[in-house]
Amino acid sequence: MQSPSSLRSFCAAAKEMTVRDALNSAIDEEMSADSKVYLMGEEVGEYQGAYKISKGLLQKFGPDRVLDTPITEAGFTGIGVGSAFYGLKPIVEFMTFNFAMQAIDHIINSAAKTNYMSAGQISVPIVFRGPNGAAAGVAAQHSQCFAAWYGSCPGLKVLSPYSAEDARGLLKAAIRDPDPVVFLENEILYGEAFPVSAEVLDPSFVLPIGKAKIEREGTDVTVTAFSKMVGYALKAAEILEKEGINVEVINLRSIRPLDRATINQSVRKTNRLVTVEEGWPQHGIGAEICTSVVEESFDYLDAPVERITGADVPMPYAANLERMAVPQIEDIVRAVKRACSRSARGK
């Protein structure tokens, strides 16, 4: 048993950080370390960011490196891509990734394909970041998950953080990467605080792109998730543990490249798979993961794979319908029980 003094020492050393502060500190540190890094987007400067991710950066770095733009995503995204061609390292913030649809030609045709089309002569070190997926009460046009959209495109790297550790380590990796990175955040997670270690707070901390994290080890079933759904999966695992089901939860972190090795290694241990995502079911991230497992680990499966996704409809505005259109913790619990051949009735 730990002594009171050691517990006090641990409590004094323990620290929590919100995802918002993790993103802010990552941008701050990378801009301080490299004068080629700059931030541009709507309201990132004077207003300190629509979600306060860029708080304090204009005052520290000035208007030449923190640029407020007009409401013209196609315009400022194109400027960002062009500046990346010439060696700068822009961070392009979209107030929501739904607005990035105005700029998708620059993201796909200019940023993602230029390195290949130039035979490696032109690098495009640019980060496209902002909130992705459903928030609350913002209806169909502002609630889409773009992970599968961008995840299908060669030439892009696509990341989606869950925790403060993810946000700090992955954003720093994205800014340093020589290729274009789509960085899909979640508005609901911005204010959520997570414990962080001294290692995570170190300015040199960075996470590898393309590597998933096993958030919770288990033996009975593998559950994959990313962004906000990781938290849902962990809560479902706590419920299921009380019923004797030991769930392994994988935080994907990286959508493209996808860490197929970690996923398949886990399924070969647990012999069952449930994928969770907020996006639509057809051609989704879960579909790609299920295909990978069927192709590489089919003989290890003891049950059909299960996919939990958003409903195959545009997002409703009414709160009761919205809740039905996105995955809930109880949906994950039921799917795991089906995978483990245990009836969800009466549980």
Bridge partners, residue 308, by sequence: 276
Q: Report in angstroms the alpha-carbon separations of 141 from 130, 137, 160, 182, 291.
A: 16, 11, 20, 20, 29
At 68, phi and psi to the nearest 5? Answer: -75, 135
Dihedral (CA of 53, 168, 215, 15) sign? negative
**Do residues 16 and 196 make contact, with C-beta atoms less than 8 angstroms apart?**
yes
Active-site choice (29, 30, 42, 73): 73
The H or E element spanning position 15 is: strand 15-18
* Amino acid in the structure at residue 236: A
How far, in Å, CA of 285 to CA of 269, rounded?
A: 21
The H or E element spanning position 222 is: strand 221-225
Look up residue 42 and give its two tokens.
């709507």
Q: Is 142 part of the annotated catalytic residue set?
A: yes
CB-CB neighbours of 109 under 10 Å: 14
**Do residues 238 and 223 make contact, with C-beta atoms less than 8 angstroms apart?**
no
Active-site choice (43, 142, 192, 241): 142
Query: Residue 226: which of 282, 301, 173, 151 has the closest Cα?
Result: 151
**Do residues 232 and 192 make contact, with C-beta atoms less than 8 angstroms apart?**
no
Which residues neighbour 189 within 8 Å (Cβ) at sequence distance 6 or greater? 19, 161, 162, 227, 228, 231
Q: From start to end of 72-218, where are the E strands?
A: 89-93, 127-131, 157-159, 181-185, 193-196, 213-216
How far, in Å, CA of 316 to CA of 297, rounded?
A: 37
CA angle 283, 309, 297 (to 5 degrees): 65
Residues serving a catalytic function are 73, 142
